Amino acid sequence: MSMHTHSDDQMACPSCDHLYDMSGLEQGQQARCGTCNHLLATYREHAYAHVVAFSISALIFFVLACCFPFMSFKSSGMESVMTLPQAITQIKGEGMWDLAILVACFILIIPALVMALTAALGISLLAGWRNHWAKDVAKLIFHLQVWSMVEVFFIGVLVSLFKIADMATVGVGIAFWSYAAFAIFFTLALSNLDTFQTWKNLEELEP
């Protein structure tokens, strides 16, 4: 995904291509297209410090979510404990390897990759480094983030908890709360990585 920029402070709306001057934005202000109401940019000072902090926090909670028990089920005297990787392995073990790959990609692989790239890009922009890979990383982040299903997965888990509660005793483990924290920090990191502000800063850092 690339921004339609015409100068350092101008951009065209991605939806209707109307041109806008973005130079007057101040801390916390948003710019929306007057024609289609598309959100163009949200200006934040010290945005990259927040991006780095949120993305690194997200990665820490992601590791915890993968290493500890996610849920436990107890019914008729039998108890089963499940981690996120084990859940995917179980789906594959039931012959649905294609579904297992999709689940792994949407809730683990892509989100983790997006956060790792976001942390790297945030550190690069915060330090003002002139990296040749920064634009490609930014494009990849803005493209991949739409394929991440972190929030959708967690909401689905919450809905399932209420349905399963009538059939078995359900316990939530450290990984459950860690993934919840991961989802929060994931959203915060990406919300602070404004597309227009990022492309503008990347262009300013070009040799």
Q: What pLDDT, in 10s, does the model give residues 2-41?
A: 444 444 667 666 667 666 666 666 665 667 776 787 666 6
**pLDDT number for residue 200:** 84
Mean pLDDT of the chain: 84
Note the pLDDT tens digit of each residue in 171-206: 888 999 999 999 999 999 999 998 888 888 888 887
- Give me 88's structure tokens: 């995917």
Model confidence at 165: pLDDT above 90: no
Residue 67 has pLDDT above 60, yes or no: yes
- Residue 58: count of CB within 10 angstroms of its CB: 27
- Whether 42 has a pLDDT exceeding 80, the answer reads no
- On the 0-12 / 13-18 / 19+ scale of CB atoms within 10 A, 49 is middle
Predicted local distance difference test score (pLDDT) of residue 3: 44
Q: Is the pLDDT of residue 81 over 90?
A: no
How many CB atoms are closer than 10 A to CB 62? 24
**3 state SS for the chain:** CCCCEEECCEEECCCCCCEEECCCCCCCCEEECCCCCCEEEECCCCHHHHHHHHHHHHHHHHHHHHHCCCEEEEECCEEEEECHHHHHHHHHHCCCHHHHHHHHHHHHHHHHHHHHHHHHHHHHHHHCCCCCCHHHHHHHHHHHHHHCCHHHHHHHHHHHHHHHCCCCEEEECHHHHHHHHHHHHHHHHHHHCCHHHHHHHHHHCCC
pLDDT at 87: 87
